[in-house]
Structures are given as C-alpha cells and as structure tokens.
Amino acid sequence: MSADTGRKATRWALAGLCTLIGLWLILPLAVIVPISFSGEDSFAFPPQSWTLARYANLVTPQWTQALLNSLVVALLVAGLCAVLGTLAAFAIVRSHSRAMVVLRLLILAPQVVPIIIVGLGVYLVFLGWQLTGTVSGFVIAHAALSLPFVVIPVAASLQTFDRSLERASASLGAAPVATFFQVTFPIIRPAILSGTLLAFLGSFDELVLALFLQSPTFVTLPVQLYRRMTDTIDPTIAAVATIQLGFVIACVIVALVLERRRAAGTKAG
C-alpha cells in the first residue's frame, strides 16, 4: 500500500470517527427538540401529539425573570471580561516580569480547579461579604470563571502581532491611546469579540456557581431549569432547553466566524 493510500485511509478513518462522535453528541439534542412540542405531559419519545403550549407556558414571571437575570449577569460579565481580559493579555504578552507567570496561573486557575471546589470557596467568601444572591456577586464569580475565554485568544493574537505597525504609528506622532484604537485594536478585535462572546456564554450557561450563589429572590435560568427538572416532569423544560440550545449554537457560530477572521487576518499579516 502506497503512502498516499495510507494517508487517505487515515483521513477517512478519522472523518468516520469524528462523524460517529458528532452523532453521539447530537442524538440527545435530537430527542429534546421534538419533546418540546409534545402534547403529552411526559418525556415520551416520539411524541404522539404536537402543540406549542410548552412555549406559551414560558411566558410566566418565574421563567421570564430567570431569563432576564441570566441575560443581565451575562452581559455585565462579558463587558467586564472584555476589558479586564484584554488588559491582562497585554500584561502577559508585553511584560517581561516574572510576576506575569503568576498572573497567568491565577487567571487559568478557576478553569483547572474542580468547579465544585471553586463554588464552595466562592460561597464561603461571598457569604461573609454579603454578596450571595446579588447581581454583583454573580458578576464577580462568573467573571473570574470566564476571564480565560478572553485572555487566551487575545494573548494568542498579540503574540503574532507585528509591533512595527505600532512603532510606525508612534513615529508619525500618534499618542499611545490613538495608536491602540487606530492600529492595534482593529487587528485584535476579532479575538476580543470572540472571547467576549464565549465569556457571555460561559456566564449564561453556568450552573454550579449559580446554585451556590442563588437566593429566593435571585435565580438564573440554568438554576430555574434545574429546579424544575428535579421537582416535576414537564415538557416545558424541553422547550427551555431547546431555546437555550438554539441561542448557544447561534453564539458559537458567530464566535467561530470571528475566530476564522482573526486567523485569516493573522495569515495575511
């Protein structure tokens, strides 16, 4: 067997394996979506009748308030991570201080440490600071967890950035702030946007920290979904999951497009 034939066989085998893994991951989702239109008060599949009543049931104060809470927290987390993550990426890439190694480890720590341990630690600290059940508490906790989503792509973009462009801008009399917004930011913008979008999704879908920080008056959508799943059997849960799934898929597609643009810009540069 020739080398080309062996490489083609390897590619076909990998493609088949990836297809099987993708189908295995998509199969549960293919079940959830039809159940959200089920006319029976059960999770029976396939449904025997069809209705939109499950989606109509979502227009209640419990679901709408939980959705609003999640959106507010996720938007604040995305904005905070965009600013702090970009600054941290600049510090990590542009500074030669050994302290930046420690900073990188601190930023990545919440992604490495088991989330249940992070949640317990955050709960014990925030309980003393009276931040549990508050928007501020959720934003701070989720931002610490989502910050790597911005730092990693922005740092990668800065590492391939041609700094001669900044020096040329400075030689023409541009101030550092003007150089950043007119030269640096347009080039690293796709990395910032894709990281910010992932930070938004990380906060919007986060459950474990939200379970620790929730209160009777402040509940996010994942917590409300978890409560209903443990309390009752209601296809309305499938309707929520379907909407959330569609929203997440749309955001991930946008993030992938932005990342591809960043990669294309890097190659062009």
Write down the mean pLDDT value for the chain.
82
> How many whole angstroms separate alpha carbon 94 and alpha carbon 113?
27
| pLDDT given for residue 34 in this prediction | 80
pLDDT of 129 > 70? The answer is yes
- Concatenating the DSSP letter of every residue in the chain gives --HHHHHHHHHHHHHHHHHHHHHHHHHHHHHHHHHTTBSSSS--SS-SSB-SHHHHTT-SHHHHHHHHHHHHHHHHHHHHHHHHHHHHHHHHHH---THHHHHHHHHHHHHHS-HHHHHHHHHHHHHHHT-TTSHHHHHHHHHHHHHHHHHHHHHHHHHT--THHHHHHHHTT--HHHHIIIIIHHHHHHHHHHHHHHHHHHHHT--HHHHHH-BTTB--HHHHHHHHHHH---THHHHHHHHHHHHHHHHHHHHHHHHHHHHHHHHH-
Percent of the chain with pLDDT over 70: 93
Q: How many CB atoms lie within 10 A of CB 158?
A: 19
Instruction: For residue 6, name the pLDDT band (cuts at 50, 70, 90).
Output: low
Instruction: Give the Cα-Cα-Cα angle 266, 268, 269 (nearest 5 degrees).
Output: 65
| pLDDT given for residue 81 in this prediction | 94
Q: pTM for the whole thing?
A: 0.80
Give the pair of three-digit tokens for residue 10.
């390897």
Q: How many CB atoms lie within 10 A of CB 67?
A: 18
| pLDDT given for residue 40 in this prediction | 73
> How many whole angstroms separate alpha carbon 139 and alpha carbon 219?
13
At 208-241, the pLDDT tens digits run 999 999 988 899 988 888 888 777 767 777 888 7
* Cis omega (within 30 of 0) for bond into 186: no
pLDDT of 189 > 80? The answer is yes
CA distances from 3 to 13, 48, 68 (A): 15, 54, 57
Residue 2 φ/ψ, nearest 5 degrees: -70, 165
| pLDDT given for residue 199 in this prediction | 92
Domains of the chain: 58-268 (1.10.3720.10)
Percent of the chain with pLDDT over 90: 21
Is the separation of the CB atoms in 146 and 190 below 8 Å?
no
CA distances from 104 to 93, 112, 199 (A): 10, 12, 17
At 91-110, the pLDDT tens digits run 888 887 777 778 888 888 88
**Residues contacting 105, CB < 8 A, separation 6+:** none
| pLDDT given for residue 104 in this prediction | 81
More confident residue, 89 or 31: 89
Mean pLDDT of the region 56-61: 80
